[in-house]
Amino acid sequence: MTTEAAVRPLSPFAGLMSGTIGPVLVVVLGLIAIWYVATVALNAPFQRDIYARAGQTDVPFSQMVADTLAQERPVLPSPHQVAIEIWDTTVNKKVTSNRSLIYHTGITLSSTLTGFVMGTLLGIGLAILVVHSRVLDKSLMPWVISSQTIPILAIAPMIIVVLNAIGISGLMPKAMISTYLSFFPVTVGMVKGLRSPELIHIDLMRTYSASEAETFWKLRLPYAVPYLFASMKVGIAASLVGAIVGELPTGAVAGLGARLLAGSYYGQTVQIWSALVLASVVAGSLVALIGLLEKATLAKMGMNR
């Protein structure tokens, strides 16, 4: 390669490949290709079974590939089957319909967001307490951290059943599981953030004779904002997981988790995969949304990099 080529790429294609967009696209396409191959491989035994029963002996390979990609209840549905199912259940159904994925997503989303807001507020509150009290720092923080080594999702069914027993049902129990999962990253991040101002800045506030509250509003909180957004991104993803798992024990009534459970009961693999793909899209967009919010807020505060 000449030096000129190193400075200026020869074609737009080469420029694309040296960034991140090109490689990501290639990897995604590669993954989809692997998916197709796996679909054929995993569905082939059952398809051969069908042929054997129908008495068809020598089916051409191309025919078999086409058939494996179009089974009704495949071991692994092909990407286009999932795409068609998602299109069918989002665009072609009424939003209020029980069979519309939008309806189920909405239900999951509402408890995710409720839980996320409660978890974030709880996390910020705990962080403020911990930063301002030496005793709480020493006694509460170890428990906050070890609370996460506990597989908390295991308690999800119990929380739902118990809250149902005392008359709280619907949105709140699921939201509480989301709250539990999302408060932790926010607490840890905020404690770190509220402590991130340097000692010299805190001393400066003291020379201004600023009260503890003034130091908090004018120094600690602005410093903590980038940390808050970073942990909110983790928290909202955890909230969604909490909401989905929270829907499992309610007996598959509504929501993306319920779609997963119903799909697994009735062997509807296409339904499971479409719920899964949609959940991933929701998770990705929620994180991206927080990212946008972060950019806007930091730009307004003059802290963007």
Partner 1 sequence: MSSIATSRPRFDTPARLAIGVLVFAVLGLTGTAFQPDLGSLDLPRLSIVVTVLAILGVRYSLGFARHRLGDVIIGLVTILSAWFLVETVGNHQGLAAPGFWFLTIATWFASWLFVERMAHWRGLSPFAQKLVNLAIPLIFGITLLVLWQLVVVGAGIPQVLLPSPGAIGTRLVSSVPVLWADFQQTFLKAVLAGYAIGCGSAFVVAILIDRVPFLRRGLLPIGNLVSALPIIGVAPIMVMWFGFDWPSKAAVVIIMTFFPMLVNTVAGLAAADAMQKDLMRTYAASYWQTLIKLRLPMALPFIFNALKINSTLAMIGAIVAEFFGTPIVGMGFRISTEVGRMNLDMVWAEIAVAALAGSLFYAAVALIERIATFWHPSQRG
Sites of contact with partner 1 (CB under 8 A): 17, 19-20, 22-28, 31, 75, 134-135, 138-143, 146, 148-155, 157-158, 161-162, 165-166, 195, 199, 202-203, 206, 233-234, 237, 240-241, 244-245, 248-249, 256-257, 260-261, 263-264, 267, 269, 272-273, 275-276, 279-280, 283-284, 287
CA atoms within 13 A of residue 190's CA, in its CB half-sphere: 28
Is the Cβ of residue 59 or residue 163 nearer to partner 1 in the bound state? 163
Is the Cβ of residue 57 or residue 146 nearer to partner 1 in the bound state? 146
The nearest distance, CB 30 to partner 1, in angstroms, is: 8
Give the rounded distance of the alpha carbon of 68 from its chain centre.
Answer: 31
Is the Cβ of residue 206 or residue 295 nearer to partner 1 in the bound state? 206
Is the Cβ of residue 23 or residue 56 nearer to partner 1 in the bound state? 23
The nearest distance, CB 63 to partner 1, in angstroms, is: 25
Residue 159: CB atoms within 10 Å: 18
76 — alpha (psi -120 to 50), left (phi > 0) or beta? beta
Sign of the alpha-carbon torsion through 86, 92, 97, 103: positive
- Distance, CA of 202 to CA of 215 (rounded, Å): 8
The nearest distance, CB 218 to partner 1, in angstroms, is: 16
- Distance, CA of 230 to CA of 287 (rounded, Å): 10
- N-terminal to C-terminal alpha carbon distance within the chain: 35
Is the Cβ of residue 66 or residue 291 nearer to partner 1 in the bound state? 291
